[in-house]
Structure 1
């Protein structure tokens, strides 16, 4: 929201300093993002009166004009046809610069020296009209005065960040109220004089979509003359970023910035019988004022007549009803539209206007009829039209003021202050609240424009804003504040700490990504259209996406981590290990699901103490990556898991596995499918793991456990066995553990071999068994007895063959 200092000064009738204004707004909780010094975009343009006007002796289309500039008379040759003796006009002298960038110089035209140039509205930036010279027949323009000085040669524009719940601040009056409350100044707006009529409007209004439009008002201004706005109005609009167009349209923009309520002016002669507020039809098209054409749906609100739509409600008018140079009758609109509909339409179509921004925040209702009356009088006054007093209206203005009871002591209790009842009462009254004292309570009635005031706590905040947040003392709590993290959060933090301590870097990415990235990460072949269609059907799409890059929700953690990896590779960073905890989202059978996942990627060289690794171990490979997760499971007290080949298609079919605990697949780990790497144009091996956090946390027992270390020595035995290549090590380990051997401390796999000397359907596995007792030193006979039991168990259950047993 932009507001000029001169505009604030005018309606507060006080010369304001930009720094004081900024301090007041900042202390009131209104952020001042920027203060810009602005000047008129033209110079050396003075006010003159034409005292002589005659045809050029040597040119039929030129005129020789003498203009009085107060202290001197200048002669100017012009082709303008709208000048006559007595007109007051802007004159650009030799060396002046216009808004268009043109620099004026003396020159001879058909033998007569022209000492300057008369200016059109377009050349001064006051509108698009360049058909004739701008006439300034107003007592404010003194002959010989500099035009820039009259308009305010230097001004300041404050760029404010308005809170979403304060639509009243989207106006000059709203900002002036805040400043006036602190400086004890009243807001005063000058009214306009015009001609009136009691004739009824031939255009009636009707609301067919009451959920989308609570109330609609229209007023008729007859006999208007379309011309450029006065320099005062035009320059004021330019300072806040609005391009002047003509006197009628500029009045609607002027009132919108002044009072905060968007208006729209229709050419009344282009409206067929009546104005109807209705839903748009699906696939209905509308050509807007900016020349664009939009396709609408039933959630959009349109302003229509008997022939079709003539405006997109709350956003922009249509080209078929715009004000033009031939307009003689104006139908002025003011309405309250549903802010949710306006926001959705604006976002979906990608159209953000000053009007839509205000409607999106919500508008107050009480003063709509007063606002349209003020704007109608301004239009009639500046265009020479006749205002028809009767306002056409449909809908009902709801009561928006609200009574709240406030205990004065509550203010000091919540703020930690010692404000008196008088201070509290005056604070609220200065901010426009009506305060009545009832016993020990304040009965407070909020102004109609303060839609954000709903309860007593809001009034406490208002007192703090008015008195100044700097008056609230900074104190420490008198008692220790209890606090704790939920157990689930503690465990997730512990998971993060484990991977951070093992050389991985945490990443935090957006849940919204592009469909292209989803397909690249989930489609094994980009030519597989059936697969791509299946994936798209499972993706949750955003209805009103800000961009294609943020149009769908991620379906796995591999998608954002691969995007992050690709950015690093593009910057020639090849040694990468990241992890991220977050949610993934999927659509299954027309229902939505979300799941918590830990995603981990690693590629290139290992980041943790590489100088302590063997040369061949410095690069990431499957087993070191898998070992990270084995130790991770053990650190959480999980020591029994099975290895399965059941993994997602994003993994390499033969260099991957899953961890299954108590019949639940908790982890998938392995090398990323090379075809997915090809989709992303990644030319190095990438390892990825995804931990299903919800399933993992369900496995944990939230209790303290302790381990007693034995003081007696351990004994190790190595067993080499032949087993079917279809049997995994986890199956062998589980069979051994079923014996419940009290002295078996650990089982480690030393070697797996397939090849020469081994049958094709078999593989050789060497196991290391470590035995230890907590009570005594084990004898060789005790260990041998358990070795024989283990061998018998494996032969009976898995059909193994013993190759060797070594001490």
Structure 2
């Protein structure tokens, strides 16, 4: 929220001599985040004056451009000659001229210079060149009579006024208005606040007909009508200047007035071209198939949850978000119907996100507006249109609904002091709550009955009131005392392992998720688990949160696949996610846990019996991949996630634990029988990885070829502190080795034989190619190509030594797996 200080000063008696920076500091003390205090004049120095165009000559140039050689009166004895490329002005128009020696925002120094055959003694400015707008199609032309030649343009344009740029948190929606900021300034500086003074009409019946079909979503809807507006009337300069300072551009008198009143009161308003309306206004939910073209020109398909404004044709506006194009105010509009309403914040918030259509009005409705301000804002808008647009106000308006009922909160007088640790007497609590705008009744028994003001829908509980009291007393007064932490030994080995694994998977492109540990028994059948599979033996809860999920998980995959299914349903099909958490396996003891009485402490025997029935809770880590790991583009085709990527995620976990996994082919549900691998550590199976079975993928509605991995993290020993290996300064010897083996021989077995046979000189070995060709290799054979790196720590290794090591690797592979060196 950007608010000029002069506008705030109209509603609060600021102390004499108070600077804009000091006002910003005062607002910070009461909890507002003032991001910046600036003015449009900060980047401008030197002579910037109002000028009058005395005459000009259009001069075509060789490049096809037509420039104007202008004679401009800038309040000096002689006019100045200035070259200008714009054509949106006429003789006697008032313009803004910057003279030699001045500096515009950029910085852009101005000097007299020869151009297009003339000596241009200055420059005629556009809004963008002055840093007050984005309009660069033409120069800035002032309204006649607003100034005279030679006047200081900074004062004429109101650029010297300091502007506060404030980041308003969602719970402080009332501060999205000058009225709300002025109230906060009054509380911060202990000076009087002056609310808007308007005369409301005595009659609220007989106006334009309105029906509200959903009072829960719209508990108040008000309209006022004005007629006889002169569309040619310009927007007053003070409104234009303030809108510009607040970050809005001037459009037309009617639109500018509604925006101005919204910024002033915090109540969004909408203006309809009354001549374009067809019948009474209505407020209801959208019906299936209805469409609406909003003011931005976009045709939108409405959702049944959308709240819309209608007439006899159907929807003419998306309530609280944006109006429709059919009833838009035009340059010929003379009859106007003004709307001010109070909508349910959640309804507006959902509509904004559903249609991706943020607006200034929606920003305020989402945070809650003051329902008591609707009539005031309408009257303020009517007054401005009648004063500056020559309009005539309809005597009666229409008000449907009375708004939300006020709440009553009981607050102990000592609660604020107890929670803040400050000596805040009951009198100070009473005074601070009244500063906020609350109605406070003191029963005399140490309990306040507090009714929050209508503009503070966020005040619903005693803690909210305590926060208001403490922030006005001053957050800086709260004592800062750090607790004394107990001595510790840092992270345990298990904690270091979990953090290392989590960081490694995140670095590999996986996103961590956290799921509830509850599952449905039906998941075992969907996974196709055999009847005697131990994963079917799940702990059943006596009082589950949901009857649909009464069991504790024995695997992390149900939750992860549920995450994948939800994301796919929302349009995200390329995913890589992981979870680290406990699984719950029934205790070996089949006995039920004893239930000792409360008359005495349980005995050691009873405690041991209870402990023996507690489920075994190993910590697992699991990953799920679906869709493309790399998308298609000019660089090539897409790379789909496959079973090898699932196995690689297990290796990522193993590397983080400084362990070496062994991989071998397996057939385990719910994985594809031909694309599944067991993960072994020191000969013990600790997990499984691969592509899920097509039946499981189809049953859960997952993308084709979905892959997954799960392993027992507790079975991986926490990494012990290790000394980094000594780096050799001697060059390596790089050799390639291609071995032909039967197709059924796992590549991991061949790799292990090569590594063992190469001996201590082998630094690394990598499988880089798998080749099969019946004509060249023979039926049922495949070729595995390995890249070997040999290096000695104390000398330069000879090729003969490396070749001998490679030959030993070939011999070992031949004896172990029947490998033959490929010719």
Q: TM-score, normalised by structure 2?
A: 0.58
Partner residue, 1:603: 651
Partner residue, 2:566: 541
Pairing of 1:669-688 with structure 2 (within 5 A): 669-673=687-691, 688=709
Establish whether residue 209 from structure 1 lines up as the match of residue 209 from structure 2: no
Partner residue, 1:325: 331
Deviations 1:10-51 (A, max 9, x none): 43343643443343333323333455554388886534679x
Partner residue, 1:432: 437
1:384 to 387, 390, 395: 390
Establish whether residue 289 from structure 1 lines up as the match of residue 295 from structure 2: yes
Is the 8 Å Cα contact of residues 408 and 449 (structure 2) preserved in structure 1? Answer: yes
Counterpart Cα distance in 2 of 1:566 and 1:130: 44
Question: Where does structure 2 lack aligned partners over 5 or more consecutive residues?
Answer: 61-66, 516-525, 528-559, 581-620, 636-645, 695-706, 716-823
Partner residue, 2:495: 497
Residues 229, 654 of structure 1: CA spacing in aligned structure 2 closer, same or farther, 3 A cutoff? Answer: closer
Is the 8 Å Cα contact of residues 539 and 555 (structure 1) preserved in structure 2? Answer: no
Residues 438, 193 of structure 1: CA spacing in aligned structure 2 closer, same or farther, 3 A cutoff? Answer: closer
Partner residue, 2:12: 12
What is the CA distance between 1:413 and its match in structure 2? Answer: 2.4
Residues 225, 281 of structure 1: CA spacing in aligned structure 2 closer, same or farther, 3 A cutoff? Answer: same
Partner residue, 1:689: 710
Partner residue, 1:29: 31
Deviations 1:112-162 (A, max 9, x none): 9998898898997679898998453567x4653222233443455444333
Residues 312, 76 of structure 1: CA spacing in aligned structure 2 closer, same or farther, 3 A cutoff? Answer: farther
Is the 8 Å Cα contact of residues 652 and 671 (structure 1) preserved in structure 2? Answer: no
Is the 8 Å Cα contact of residues 599 and 690 (structure 1) preserved in structure 2? Answer: no
What is the CA distance between 1:467 and its match in structure 2? Answer: 0.8
Structure 1 residue matching 2:650: 3-state secondary structure: strand
Counterpart Cα distance in 2 of 1:217 and 1:9: 29
Is the 8 Å Cα contact of residues 222 and 399 (structure 2) preserved in structure 1? Answer: yes
Structure 2 residue matching 1:327: 3-state secondary structure: coil
Structure 2 residue matching 1:368: 3-state secondary structure: helix
Deviations 1:218-258 (A, max 9, x none): 11122232454333322322333222212211221222222
Structure 2 residue matching 1:366: 3-state secondary structure: helix
Is the 8 Å Cα contact of residues 512 and 552 (structure 1) preserved in structure 2? Answer: no
Deviations 1:625-654 (A, max 9, x none): x9xxxxxxxxxxxxxxxxx95332268656
Pairing of 1:248-259 with structure 2 (within 5 A): 248-259=254-265
More divergent stretch after superposition (284-293 vs 548-557): 548-557
Is the 8 Å Cα contact of residues 605 and 620 (structure 1) preserved in structure 2? Answer: no
Partner residue, 1:776: none
Establish whether residue 621 from structure 1 lines up as the match of residue 662 from structure 2: yes
Is the 8 Å Cα contact of residues 505 and 652 (structure 2) preserved in structure 1? Answer: no
Pairing of 1:371-770 with structure 2 (within 5 A): 371-400=377-406, 402-441=407-446, 442-475=448-481, 497=495, 499-500=497-498, 509-511=511-513, 540-541=565-566, 548=572, 559=623, 601-603=649-651, 607=655, 620-622=661-663, 645-649=667-671, 653=675, 655-656=677-678, 669-673=687-691, 688-690=709-711
Question: Where does structure 1 lack aligned partners over 5 or more consecutive residues?
Answer: 482-492, 514-521, 524-534, 571-597, 611-617, 627-643, 660-666, 677-685, 697-807
Structure whose CA Rg is larger: 1
Deviations 1:250-300 (A, max 9, x none): 221222222212111112221123222222222322222122221112211
Residues 687, 102 of structure 1: CA spacing in aligned structure 2 closer, same or farther, 3 A cutoff? Answer: closer
Residues 443, 345 of structure 1: CA spacing in aligned structure 2 closer, same or farther, 3 A cutoff? Answer: closer
Residues 229, 544 of structure 1: CA spacing in aligned structure 2 closer, same or farther, 3 A cutoff? Answer: farther
Counterpart Cα distance in 1 of 2:303 and 2:256: 31
Establish whether residue 46 from structure 1 lines up as the match of residue 49 from structure 2: yes
Counterpart Cα distance in 1 of 2:454 and 2:574: 39
Structure 1 residue matching 2:661: 3-state secondary structure: coil
Counterpart Cα distance in 2 of 1:599 and 1:173: 62
Is the 8 Å Cα contact of residues 623 and 649 (structure 2) preserved in structure 1? Answer: no
More divergent stretch after superposition (91-100 vs 110-119): 110-119
Counterpart Cα distance in 1 of 2:299 and 2:494: 51
Counterpart Cα distance in 2 of 1:233 and 1:362: 25
Partner residue, 2:374: 368
Is the 8 Å Cα contact of residues 504 and 653 (structure 2) preserved in structure 1? Answer: no
Counterpart Cα distance in 1 of 2:266 and 2:144: 30
Residues 464, 503 of structure 1: CA spacing in aligned structure 2 closer, same or farther, 3 A cutoff? Answer: closer
Partner residue, 1:734: none
Partner residue, 2:735: none
Is the 8 Å Cα contact of residues 127 and 228 (structure 1) preserved in structure 2? Answer: no
What is the CA distance between 1:314 and its match in structure 2? Answer: 0.9
What is the CA distance between 1:465 and its match in structure 2? Answer: 0.7
Is the 8 Å Cα contact of residues 88 and 138 (structure 2) preserved in structure 1? Answer: no
Counterpart Cα distance in 1 of 2:22 and 2:625: 49
Partner residue, 1:709: none
Counterpart Cα distance in 1 of 2:500 and 2:58: 95
Residues 97, 469 of structure 1: CA spacing in aligned structure 2 closer, same or farther, 3 A cutoff? Answer: closer
Counterpart Cα distance in 2 of 1:38 and 1:413: 46
Establish whether residue 340 from structure 1 lines up as the match of residue 343 from structure 2: no
Establish whether residue 136 from structure 1 lines up as the match of residue 143 from structure 2: yes
What is the CA distance between 1:181 and its match in structure 2? Answer: 0.5
Is the 8 Å Cα contact of residues 106 and 115 (structure 1) preserved in structure 2? Answer: yes
Is the 8 Å Cα contact of residues 223 and 338 (structure 2) preserved in structure 1? Answer: yes
Partner residue, 1:641: none
Structure 2 residue matching 1:541: 3-state secondary structure: helix
Deviations 1:570-601 (A, max 9, x none): 9xxxxxxxxxxxxxxxxxxxxxxxxxxx9994
What is the CA distance between 1:315 and its match in structure 2? Answer: 0.9
Is the 8 Å Cα contact of residues 219 and 388 (structure 1) preserved in structure 2? Answer: yes
Is the 8 Å Cα contact of residues 321 and 358 (structure 2) preserved in structure 1? Answer: yes
More divergent stretch after superposition (649-658 vs 117-126): 117-126
Residues 197, 467 of structure 1: CA spacing in aligned structure 2 closer, same or farther, 3 A cutoff? Answer: closer
Counterpart Cα distance in 1 of 2:75 and 2:361: 44
Structure 2 residue matching 1:276: 3-state secondary structure: strand
Q: TM-score, normalised by structure 1?
A: 0.59
Residues 220, 426 of structure 1: CA spacing in aligned structure 2 closer, same or farther, 3 A cutoff? Answer: same
More divergent stretch after superposition (172-181 vs 198-207): 198-207
Counterpart Cα distance in 2 of 1:221 and 1:296: 31
Residues 550, 403 of structure 1: CA spacing in aligned structure 2 closer, same or farther, 3 A cutoff? Answer: farther
What is the CA distance between 1:688 and its match in structure 2? Answer: 3.7
Is the 8 Å Cα contact of residues 215 and 393 (structure 1) preserved in structure 2? Answer: yes
